[in-house]
Structure 1
C-alpha cells in the first residue's frame, strides 16, 4: 500500500467512524465542529506532553512510548476530521503539506 492509499484508507475509516457518532454532539455548524476539534487536539497534545518529563520540579519518570503513540493517534483522528470538515481529500492534504513544507525549508535556508 503506498502512502496515498494509506491516507485514503485513514480518511475512509474516519468518515465511517463519524457516522457512528451522534452528529448533534459535535455541532451543526462547520465552524463550531472545527473549533471543538481544535480544542480536542489541544487537550490530546497536553496528554502527550504530560507523558514527557517537562516538569523540571518533579522527579523524572520513565517515558511510555506506547502511550505516547496512542495520544499521537488521538491527535491524528481530530486532524483528519478537520481535513474532512474542510473538504480535503488525500491529494489535497499531500499538496498542502508539500507546499507548506517547501515554505518551511526555504525559511530555514534564509535563517528563519
Structure 2
C-alpha cells in the first residue's frame, strides 16, 4: 500500500512539474525587445544609403576621403558607387552625387 501511495505521489509531482514547465514555455521572455523593434530595423536600413563625407586629406600626390568613417581613395567604391573625384572639401561619385563637408568645418572665420 505504501509503495503505491509513493508512486501515486511521485506521478502527481512529475505531472505538476511538467505542467509548470509547459506553462513557463508559453510565457514571453521579458528581456527580448518589444514588437516595435522591427520598425527600427526599417529605419536603419533606409538610412544606410546615406553617405556622409567626414573629412578629406589631399596633397600634391595623393588624396583620401573619409566617408561614413571609412577611408577611400580615388577609384574605390563606396556602397557600390565609384569615387571619380576628390576635392579639398568634396567628393564626386560616378552616379552624379557630390558629397560635401559641413560648411562650418571648411569655412574660416574672418575670411
TM-score category, normalised to shorter length = under 0.3
**TM-score, normalised with respect to structure 2:** 0.20
- Flag the structure with more relative contact order, 1 or 2, with Cα contacts below 8 A and sequence separation at least 6: 1
Larger radius of gyration: 2
Greater strand fraction, Structure 1 or Structure 2: 2
